[in-house]
Amino acid sequence: MPRPVSDIPNLGPASEEGFARAGMHSAEEVIALGADEAYLRLMRAGTRPHFIGYYALVMGLQGRPWNDCRDKEKAGLRKKFDALKAEAQTTAAPGTLPSHVERALNDLGLLGRMTD
């Protein structure tokens, strides 16, 4: 039987809801995708990027407490997070961004560039 996403250390009910909105309904799915792909899917589904959420996921998938991330490791994860955030912003499909963001990008003539 599949385990709930909240079985992953550092993740709770709110995280579980976000993963479900992004189409990930079990801990096994998130584990199989890995932290980077799972977080990228969260952002593409409209979850607001948050660095602590990202590294809490990374630490949780390693079985570590969220606050175990420090110094060089944290700096390296920040670079990965920033790259994932940029990728999510440039590869978002129509309908996956919050509607007000989609309207603003469309008004600026940028939405077509993001989805090409």
Query: pLDDT at position 106, please?
Result: 65
CA distance 112 to 106: 7
CATH of the domain at 89: 1.10.150.20
CA distance 6 to 24: 12
Q: Which domain holds residue 12?
A: 5-115
**46 and 21 Cβ atoms separated by less than 8 Å:** yes
**Segment 9-50, tens digit of pLDDT:** 999 999 999 999 999 999 999 999 999 999 999 999 989 999
| Signed CA dihedral, 92, 102, 85, 11: sign only | negative
pTM of the model: 0.77
How many domains does the chain divide into?
A: 1
Q: Counting beta carbons within 10 angstroms of the beta carbon of residue 68, is it exposed (0 to 12), middle (13 to 18) or buried (19 or more)?
A: middle
